[in-house]
Structures are given as structure tokens and as C-alpha cells.
Amino acid sequence: MITKLVMATNNANKLREAREILAPLGIEVLSQREAGANCDPEENGTTFAENALIKARAVFEATGLPTIADDSGLCVEAMDGRPGVYSARYAPEGQHCSKLLDEMKDVPEEKRGAAFMCTIAYVDGNESSTMSGECKGSIGHEMRGTNGFGYDPVFMVGDRSMAELTPDEKNAISHRGAALKALYEYLSKK
């Protein structure tokens, strides 16, 4: 039975979500910093799973503790799945939404489908596994809302953007939440 694992991140929002979802299993989730892992591996994979495994393996090597890591991004149908694994590097900091809206300005409503994708990797010694989650929606025509971050203000779920949802509403449908729930099922059998 696992009682402690490391999440290969120092992002407070990701940690809070993982801690909340895994709490019923009695698993303590440490941040990379709390576990003493001072590493920042290059995410040079071509899929979310490859990047998540790169991070999880690096932090496992540094700590010797079971480790989880996630990689996520936005996949837009009209852009052949871009920005995908390159979502964080798609535009300079703070300009992701405006660049995406500009690139999508002439795309008709019926071709604006998109999905947030997340893959979580679990690594413990020679054992590794990945779980994925997605949240389907579409790209809006303007930025809306003040909650969330990244592409949330332009990612529409129904008639509201992700940035207009409360944290609880977002967690209930989010790609990371879905992947964490799959991780919960995986860990509950260990």
C-alpha cells in the first residue's frame, strides 16, 4: 500500500487537486520541492504521455519515492490538434489566448471544436503506467471570465468559458480531474 508519493510539480493548483482526489486513499502527496527534488527535465517528448513519463522518471530518480507527473494541453480541431504538446510554448507568456483567437478569427462555429487533454504518469521503480483525461468544448470568439489560467478564458464548455466556472465546477469536468480519477482507480488496486 502506497502511503506517500511525489507529484513532479510545484504548482499549487495541481497539488491541491491531486491531494483532494487522492485523500480518501490515505496517500500523502508531496510537491517536488517538499521531496527535495531539484530537477527540471527537458520535456522533449512528442506526446503528453512521453512528457509526463520524462518528468515522473526524473523526480523518481531524485527521490526514490513513487512519483506522478502530468502533461497537458489544448488540442484544436481546426488547427489539426495544435497547439497540443506545445501548448505552453505556443505563444509568449500571457499571449496564448490572443494568439489563438487571432489564428481562429475566420474559423466558422461548427469547426471550433477543441479538447483539453491531460496524461498522468505514475513511476515506481521499474513500474510505470499512464492515465488520460479530456474535457471537450470549443474555442470562443473572445476572452471571458477571470477564474482559471492559460487557455481557460477562450475554452467554452456550453455557453460559459472555463474561466467563468467556479473551481468546483471546473474540477468536476476538467481533463486533469478525469486523469486524476483514473489514477485514483489505479492506486486503489495497489
Residues 6+ apart with CB under 8 A from 187: 2, 22, 25, 27, 122
168 is catalytic: no
Catalytic-role residue among 71, 106, 124, 159: 71
Beta pairing class for 28-31 and 113-124: unpaired
88-114 burial string, b = 16+ CB within 10 Å, else e? eebbeeeebbeebbebbeebeeeebeb
Number of H helices, E strands in the chain: 5, 7
Whole-angstrom distance, CA of residue 43 vs CA of residue 56: 11
Compute CA distances 97 → 8, 71, 148, 163, whole Å. 26, 19, 13, 12
Instruction: Tell me the catalytic residues.
Output: 71
